[in-house]
A and B are shown apart, each in its own frame.
Chain A
Amino acid sequence: MSPQPQSVVSTPLDSLSYAAPSRIRAFLCPVGLVSRPRFLGFVSRLQDTAIIRLGDVTPDPRPERVMFSPQGFPDGFVVYNFVTAIDSHHAFLEDIELYRRTLAVFGLADYNNINDLTDLQIVIGALQAQHPQALIHKVILFDCPLDQNELPSVDFICVPPKRASRITSLRTTLCDLTSALLAELPLLAKAFQAADTIASPLARDDDYDSVMLTSSAVAHSRSSPAGSTGSLPSTINKDNRISYPLSHHTERQRMRRKGRSMKMIANMYLLAGRTFDALKEYNDALNVLKGVNDHLWHASSLEGIGICMVILAHIGVPFVIPNAVLPPVSPSSEKKELVQPQLLDLLPQMTSTILSLYNRSQNFPGESVPQITYAETILRTTNLLACTTLAGGWTSAARTAAVLSRPIPDVSIPYSQFHHAKMNVMNWISAAQAVRLDGVDAVDAARILTGVAAACGKLGYFRKRGFVLRQLVIELIPRIFQARQVAQNHRSLVSRSDVDDDEYWEDNRDVHVQPQDLDSGVLAVLSDICTVYGIPVDSTSEVSTFGWQDVKTSILKTCIGLCQVMPDFVGIVRYTSMLFRFSAEDLSVDEQLTLIRNFGNAYTAARSMGVQDFEQEYWDAYLVRDIAVVESSLWAVPTLVPLDAASSNRSDSSGPFIYNPFAKKGDEEGKRHLFVLDEPVEFRVILQNPFAFELDILTMSLVGTGTSFSSDVISLVVPPRKLYPASIYLTPTSTGVLNITGCRFQVLGCKETILSITPTQAAVTPPIRIKNFGLDARSSSMVKIRSPTFVKHVAVEVVPALPVLRVNRISLPHSSLMLLEGERRRFVIALGNVSETVPATSISLKFTDSTTKSLSAALQEDFRSESDRYEIEMFLHKRAALRCVTDLNEIKVPANGEAEIEVEVLGKRGLTSASIEISYSNVFDSDLALTVMYVRTLALDINVTVNASIEVAGCDFVPFSYDMPMIRTGDGQATTTDILLKFLDQVGIQFEQMDNYCLMLLDLRNSWPSQLAVELDSRTGANDIHTVKKVIQPGHLTRLLVPIRRISDIDTSVPIPSLAPPKQFTRSAVKSLSGNGSRKSGLAPEVERTVFWYREELLKVLDGRWTDNISATDGLRRGAVELRALKISPQMVDIIRVDDVVVDLSLAPSEYIRKSGKYHWIVEADSFLTLVASVTSHSTSDSVSGILRIQPTLRNLPASIALDINRRILFNGILQMPVVDIKSGDTRRVETDFVVLVRGEYEFVASFEETTAGFGGKRYIGREKLVISVN
């Protein structure tokens, strides 16, 4: 609640303090060459010594000048009101309120700038002519080293320099001046006493005979401190004011004149510091004026009494309160004693009386009170009460403040008392505010409203003050405009007749408010208002949630309005930008367009006047919505490749888990763009313009932190209401990490600003602190609009210079290639290095092709059996469509050079296109310490057409059996056995060894429209390769007979492997087993495994090729037959495989037997024969034990009869016997003697049942039956 801290000395006295009417107005003007700061310095020195005690003043010795002699009241003091402007505006009030009259004129001269003192003599004369109403005219020579006696005239006063002078020397000078002034006052008093009529301020001519100046109709508002240079204010001749006696007066008028003249004398006593005399004189005047109902002068006298009492109370001299001012009800004796608190109560009452008298005076035309007087009376009282409120009562501090406008020290006051006093003051403020300003001109209105505002400010009611100041601005705008219009018309009469809008800007340049006026001028008031209403004036990086949005908008518009009438171009620019910042959404399109036009004009006008630095930033903090790197194909983006094992295997070697969800994801680094040193990169900056006008961006460049770079500087125009992408280039100049944080802008009319990237206009959420109140809440409601949470950075890494490769040519027409399935073809890629300086080394190739995707998708399907999955994985991982032939370690592309790479393509089913990714860098062998490498990639697409060639249509396996019918056809053709023997002979298999082989029937189809020669190799032994050759006509299906050596020694218990990278969780096969056959293969797992392993073994021994030497235009086409298309069933496996235990039957040689086939014997009946069963173990286990069973049957008979052999054959022994411990690879012979009793054909079948611990021993049955024909 304390008033603003102010320096005690150099501020001018408050013109609305209660005792202001007791001050002598002294006009200070510069004389000769005085610079502005020096002049202000002189004024300030004088103001320090504005209070002169009468005791220090030497009285004038002349007897006729003793009327206001300082000796009359040595305790009293004279207070100077030093002004630097003539208030000719209120000259009509000077009679009733003498303190408004300029009684002293002091010219202030700088001795250092004066050449000739005699010139100043002329100045004195000029001052006297210009200010005839003043009583003394003196020139004060500052910094004058001379002695007073050396000066040519007594009108010159000499003041030594500040350093040389004692503190009292200026005071002494002023005492002398005061003495002179007091000596002049009696003359003025005599003139008043002699005057016939003393007119009221608003008196009209017809009321009196004499000529009265009633009001200053012409506004002389702009009188500068150096007023002598401009047109002189019209001065009023003293003779005009006081008319001399005329012939006829009534008694009433005589008394009125007497009273008024006494009041004038009292005024003079008051000014002269003779306060006691003034009080007495006022009291006398009051009594006279009261009698004649001269309300205006009566009230004025009453006011004088109040002032006298306050000053006397301040001096501390006891005095008696005049009866006239005491309340009429109980003028008791004790109240006449000086009881100071009562004085405080009395003064507002007196003011009320004064105001009612003033109001009464309104009824008398010509005698009515001027608005300004009325308002100032209220304001003075308000001021007094405010002082006592702040000082906590009628203390000496309060009195000093009221009389001498001294600041009040902080005191602690009980709240309720303080509050009550404030409310009391508030009532008076309301009264002052209620003064109608309709007929009041700009100066008076400003004076009244600033008085009200000051009082509000004193009490700490800053919002009230803001409101009043706003009212002031609103009042001023039309008045200033009117005044300017008058001046404009005046000028345009001379220059041109019409002034249109555009010319406003031209015309007003010469009257523009200079920036130095901004410090303390009306524009500072605007800042003050803005602050109160929650518009932060200086802070541009924060947005305030404080304040009322509509009110803010309105205030800013008002500010712009005032700046336009002033005109203050910088102010227009400033407030328009603030309006756009805070309330753009409240403005209509038309308003925005008008504002921006005025903004541009004001900016241009201010620029042309030399204003260079505009302080406001661009108003939209969200201008940059996004910045992104433009990924163009022209600009080869380098990628990062970790070189050391630790970083490359980080993902799978960091723990026991293949997938670790807690592992740090590497995407942060992956997302960071990599730039190459010295190569320009394009950025796309998304700019927003939410306004209805085009945004003129003069310069825009990227800013960032980290390594150095150079950014292009562009200028552009953002269209209205658009998100506008702008393209800007940046060139990194050193390696390292670079953070692009935003852009540097200069928008037309604004200073250069750096704006961060704000992708989302984050909702401004201030901390909720509801218990903050008042204007203190402002500080807690500030929110940084560019706090890190809202801001985005674009992080890029600048890497060392890299080469740029380009495919110079490729040895394929149109990058296209036609292949047959299984065919391989090579082509050459020639790479050229565009870079001037950097060679390309460490080139690597990566291939992707169209089959990858479909195969990967097929793998994902859940229902695949293990073997199917292996098949797909085989094609995916092992059968690559493309392969690099050239040794890449040898390839280097020198700067500006070229190198060739050879690539082989395999015709794979489903291949339609392939892309080759060539990664390259400039890493040398010497850079072993590198942990990462930056590579660029070059992609190359080729189109491939794969046509079908030889397809496997199907296959079957046939065992070589000895049990073939021995049919000999009659006409000499070969029997089946002959054909077989012939075939065996061809393929080099002995008949006796035949059961080690089987026959594969392979159906091959030629899908290519040209004949193809097929060769199929089958490895039948370690060195024996049997080749089947056949030419297949287009579209034909041909069966090839391929002998296959039967396969043994396969461990089928090994699970089917997977070629894919390992997975952490694999599905249990057990579940599938127990399920109801959901596996698509439909086979039990062990059967599936068996089929799988035998097929793999089969594929190892088979190899197929085809050749087309007819249709191929570009040489011989050759390729492999895709034999993986073979499908084999478990039945086929039984044919291919060799059992673990082979049981073979034969007859021991004898004279009675004759062999007709390997397993066919012809014997005679009743002969003794020996059946030899040989059991051979091929098992992988060490030894095999089991039971050998021999089953004889009748041949070619139904089973019911066939088994009935009891009476036909006699066995010596049993047909089931144990055979134990057969070593692997051993053969055990078991012989059984028997006699066949009955002729016929018999069959013997042997089987071996393995005995193992537990159940389910395997059973092996002899492959061939032994057939015996008994004759």
Chain B
Amino acid sequence: MSFYLAIIGTKDNAVYDLEFGTYRQGGDGRPKFSADMKQLCPFIVHSSLDIVEEMQWNTNVMHLKVIDKFYNYLISSYMTAGNIKFLLLHETRADDVIRQFFVDLYDLYVKALMSPFYSVDQPITSAVFDQRVKMLAKKYL
């Protein structure tokens, strides 16, 4: 199973994105997207932003669960208090696990945001952040 994670800022801009695979069922953590799909992932995620913005007013929780789908792919979303959107493209439904993943990711993101050298909507280039997100992915997905 492959995943595509994108953190979208307030201006439809990608703050961070990552492709990864599962470690479950003997996976090696590498994404197995086809070449076409690899290219398409950002577009799919971007197109679900419409739905995210629709959903956010309809609920009082941050985790919006699966909000959109594209063929066999599902898109789960998490809306932070600062209007930053976490979007995860995945293949099977696992709301609880993804919720935990998102909550921990939010924790990481807030820590990154607290850096005095980082301002909202800037791309996150921290290697440590990247590494920790990958560890989260390994832990939950």
Residues of B contacting A463 in the complex (Cβ-Cβ under 8 angstroms): 12, 46-50
Q: How far is the CA of A1081 from the CA of B54 in the complex (A)?
A: 91
A550 and B44 in contact, given A419-B54, A463-B50, A773-B83 (Cβ under 8 angstroms) = no
Contact with A along B39-78 (1 / 0, CB 8 A): 1001110111111011111100000000011110000000
Q: Shortest distance in angstroms between B118's beta carbon and chain A's nearest beta carbon?
A: 12
- Answer whether residue A217 sits at the interface, using C-beta atoms and an 8 A cutoff: no
- Answer whether residue B103 sits at the interface, using C-beta atoms and an 8 A cutoff: no
Stretch at the interface among A229-237, A399-407, A764-772: A764-772
- Answer whether residue B119 sits at the interface, using C-beta atoms and an 8 A cutoff: yes
- Answer whether residue A745 sits at the interface, using C-beta atoms and an 8 A cutoff: no
Q: How far is the CA of A416 from the CA of B57 in the complex (A)?
A: 9
Considering the complex, give the chain B residue whose CB is closest to the CB of A418: B54
The reply to whether B43 and A422 contact each other, CB–CB distance below 8 Å, is no
Q: How far is the CA of A890 from the CA of B138 in the complex (A)?
A: 95
Q: Shortest distance in angstroms between B70's beta carbon and chain A's nearest beta carbon?
A: 7
Interface residues of A in 904-962 (CB under 8 A from B): none
Residues of B contacting A549 in the complex (Cβ-Cβ under 8 angstroms): 13-14
The reply to whether A547 and B11 contact each other, CB–CB distance below 8 Å, is yes
The reply to whether A770 and B51 contact each other, CB–CB distance below 8 Å, is no
Residues of B contacting A548 in the complex (Cβ-Cβ under 8 angstroms): 8, 12-14, 42, 46
- Answer whether residue B104 sits at the interface, using C-beta atoms and an 8 A cutoff: no
A768 and B120 in contact, given A426-B51, A467-B44 (Cβ under 8 angstroms) = yes
A770 and B83 in contact, given A434-B71, A470-B43, A545-B11 (Cβ under 8 angstroms) = yes
Q: How far is the CA of A766 from the CA of B122 in the complex (A)?
A: 11
Interface residues of A in 641-677 (CB under 8 A from B): none
Q: Shortest distance in angstroms between B63's beta carbon and chain A's nearest beta carbon?
A: 17
The reply to whether A770 and B10 contact each other, CB–CB distance below 8 Å, is yes
Q: How far is the CA of A770 from the CA of B48 in the complex (A)?
A: 19
**A interface, by DSSP: helix, strand, loop or mixed?**
helix
- Answer whether residue A781 sits at the interface, using C-beta atoms and an 8 A cutoff: yes
- Answer whether residue B26 sits at the interface, using C-beta atoms and an 8 A cutoff: no
The reply to whether B47 and A415 contact each other, CB–CB distance below 8 Å, is no
- Answer whether residue A514 sits at the interface, using C-beta atoms and an 8 A cutoff: no
- Answer whether residue A328 sits at the interface, using C-beta atoms and an 8 A cutoff: no
A547 and B12 in contact, given A416-B58, A434-B71, A463-B50 (Cβ under 8 angstroms) = yes
Residues of A contacting B82 in the complex (Cβ-Cβ under 8 angstroms): 770
Q: How far is the CA of A766 from the CA of B47 in the complex (A)?
A: 24
Interface residues of A in 440-480 (CB under 8 A from B): 456, 460-464, 466-468, 470
A551 and B11 in contact, given A426-B51, A773-B83 (Cβ under 8 angstroms) = no
The reply to whether B13 and A546 contact each other, CB–CB distance below 8 Å, is yes
The reply to whether A551 and B120 contact each other, CB–CB distance below 8 Å, is no
Q: How far is the CA of A777 from the CA of B10 in the complex (A)?
A: 7
Q: Shortest distance in angstroms between A468's beta carbon and chain B's nearest beta carbon?
A: 8
Residues of A contacting B83 in the complex (Cβ-Cβ under 8 angstroms): 770-773
The reply to whether B47 and A773 contact each other, CB–CB distance below 8 Å, is no
Residues of A contacting B71 in the complex (Cβ-Cβ under 8 angstroms): 434
Residues of B contacting A460 in the complex (Cβ-Cβ under 8 angstroms): 50
Considering the complex, give the chain B residue whose CB is closest to the CB of A420: B58
- Answer whether residue A1057 sits at the interface, using C-beta atoms and an 8 A cutoff: no
- Answer whether residue A215 sits at the interface, using C-beta atoms and an 8 A cutoff: no
The reply to whether A464 and B47 contact each other, CB–CB distance below 8 Å, is yes
Q: Shortest distance in angstroms between B40's beta carbon and chain A's nearest beta carbon?
A: 9
Residues of B contacting A551 in the complex (Cβ-Cβ under 8 angstroms): 14, 42-43, 46
Q: Shortest distance in angstroms between A143's beta carbon and chain B's nearest beta carbon?
A: 48
Residues of B contacting A771 in the complex (Cβ-Cβ under 8 angstroms): 10, 83
The reply to whether A462 and B50 contact each other, CB–CB distance below 8 Å, is yes
Q: How far is the CA of A597 from the CA of B36 in the complex (A)?
A: 27
Interface size of B as a range: 20 to 34
- Answer whether residue B121 sits at the interface, using C-beta atoms and an 8 A cutoff: yes
The reply to whether A773 and B53 contact each other, CB–CB distance below 8 Å, is yes
Q: How far is the CA of A534 from the CA of B42 in the complex (A)?
A: 14
A770 and B120 in contact, given A415-B57, A548-B13, A777-B11 (Cβ under 8 angstroms) = yes
Residues of A contacting B58 in the complex (Cβ-Cβ under 8 angstroms): 415-416, 419
Interface residues of A in 766-822 (CB under 8 A from B): 766, 768-775, 777-778, 781
Q: How far is the CA of A778 from the CA of B51 in the complex (A)?
A: 18
Residues of B contacting A777 in the complex (Cβ-Cβ under 8 angstroms): 10-12
The reply to whether B12 and A546 contact each other, CB–CB distance below 8 Å, is yes
Q: How far is the CA of A416 from the CA of B58 in the complex (A)?
A: 7
The reply to whether B42 and A550 contact each other, CB–CB distance below 8 Å, is yes
Q: How far is the CA of A769 from the CA of B71 in the complex (A)?
A: 35
Contact with B along A743-776 (1 / 0, CB 8 A): 0000000000000000000000010111111110
- Answer whether residue A297 sits at the interface, using C-beta atoms and an 8 A cutoff: no
The reply to whether A422 and B44 contact each other, CB–CB distance below 8 Å, is no
Residues of A contacting B50 in the complex (Cβ-Cβ under 8 angstroms): 456, 460-464, 774
Most chain A CB within 10 A, of B13, B42, B55, is at B13
- Answer whether residue A533 sits at the interface, using C-beta atoms and an 8 A cutoff: yes
- Answer whether residue A430 sits at the interface, using C-beta atoms and an 8 A cutoff: yes
The one of A467, A468, A768, A781 that contacts B46, using a Cβ cutoff of 8 Å: A467
Residues of A contacting B57 in the complex (Cβ-Cβ under 8 angstroms): 415, 419
The reply to whether B10 and A773 contact each other, CB–CB distance below 8 Å, is yes
Q: How far is the CA of A637 from the CA of B12 in the complex (A)?
A: 54
Q: Shortest distance in angstroms between A414's beta carbon and chain B's nearest beta carbon?
A: 11
Q: Shortest distance in angstroms between A921's beta carbon and chain B's nearest beta carbon?
A: 56
Q: Shortest distance in angstroms between A252's beta carbon and chain B's nearest beta carbon?
A: 38
- Answer whether residue A433 sits at the interface, using C-beta atoms and an 8 A cutoff: yes
Q: How far is the CA of A426 from the CA of B49 in the complex (A)?
A: 13
The one of B12, B47, B53 that contacts A467, using a Cβ cutoff of 8 Å: B47
Residues of A contacting B55 in the complex (Cβ-Cβ under 8 angstroms): 419
Contact with A along B89-114 (1 / 0, CB 8 A): 00000000000000000000000000
The one of B48, B54, B121 that contacts A768, using a Cβ cutoff of 8 Å: B121
Residues of B contacting A774 in the complex (Cβ-Cβ under 8 angstroms): 49-50, 53
The one of B10, B51, B84 that contacts A769, using a Cβ cutoff of 8 Å: B10
Considering the complex, give the chain B residue whose CB is closest to the CB of A466: B47
Q: Shortest distance in angstroms between A784's beta carbon and chain B's nearest beta carbon?
A: 16
Q: How far is the CA of A138 from the CA of B126 in the complex (A)?
A: 73
Q: Shortest distance in angstroms between A425's beta carbon and chain B's nearest beta carbon?
A: 11
Considering the complex, give the chain A residue whose CB is closest to the CB of B79: A773
Q: Shortest distance in angstroms between A429's beta carbon and chain B's nearest beta carbon?
A: 10
Q: How far is the CA of A419 from the CA of B57 in the complex (A)?
A: 9
Q: How far is the CA of A778 from the CA of B11 in the complex (A)?
A: 7
The reply to whether B51 and A461 contact each other, CB–CB distance below 8 Å, is yes
Q: How far is the CA of A888 from the CA of B70 in the complex (A)?
A: 92
Q: How far is the CA of A533 from the CA of B47 in the complex (A)?
A: 10
Q: How far is the CA of A415 from the CA of B54 in the complex (A)?
A: 10
- Answer whether residue A554 sits at the interface, using C-beta atoms and an 8 A cutoff: yes
Q: Shortest distance in angstroms between A266's beta carbon and chain B's nearest beta carbon?
A: 36
Q: Shortest distance in angstroms between B33's beta carbon and chain A's nearest beta carbon?
A: 15
Q: Shortest distance in angstroms between B23's beta carbon and chain A's nearest beta carbon?
A: 26
Q: How far is the CA of A766 from the CA of B12 in the complex (A)?
A: 14
Q: How far is the CA of A773 from the CA of B12 in the complex (A)?
A: 8
Considering the complex, give the chain B residue whose CB is closest to the CB of A460: B50
Considering the complex, give the chain A residue whose CB is closest to the CB of B82: A770
Q: How far is the CA of A663 from the CA of B56 in the complex (A)?
A: 59
Q: How far is the CA of A567 from the CA of B42 in the complex (A)?
A: 28
The one of B39, B47, B68, B121 that contacts A554, using a Cβ cutoff of 8 Å: B39
Considering the complex, give the chain A residue whose CB is closest to the CB of B39: A554
Interface residues of A in 39-79 (CB under 8 A from B): none
The reply to whether B69 and A768 contact each other, CB–CB distance below 8 Å, is no
Q: Which 4 A-B pairs have the closest CB atoms?
A: A467-B47, A461-B50, A546-B11, A770-B10
Query: B-contacting residues of A (Cβ < 8 Å)?
Result: 415-416, 419, 422-423, 426, 430, 433-434, 456, 460-464, 466-468, 470, 533-534, 545-551, 554, 766, 768-775, 777-778, 781
Pairs across A and B, CB under 8 Å, 18 listed: A415-B58, A419-B55, A460-B50, A463-B46, A463-B49, A463-B50, A468-B47, A470-B43, A533-B12, A534-B13, A546-B13, A548-B12, A548-B14, A548-B42, A551-B42, A554-B39, A766-B11, A773-B56
- A464-B47, A533-B12 provided; 19 other pairs, C-beta below 8 A? A415-B57, A422-B54, A423-B54, A456-B50, A460-B50, A463-B12, A463-B47, A466-B47, A470-B43, A545-B121, A546-B12, A548-B14, A550-B14, A769-B10, A770-B82, A770-B120, A771-B10, A772-B10, A774-B50
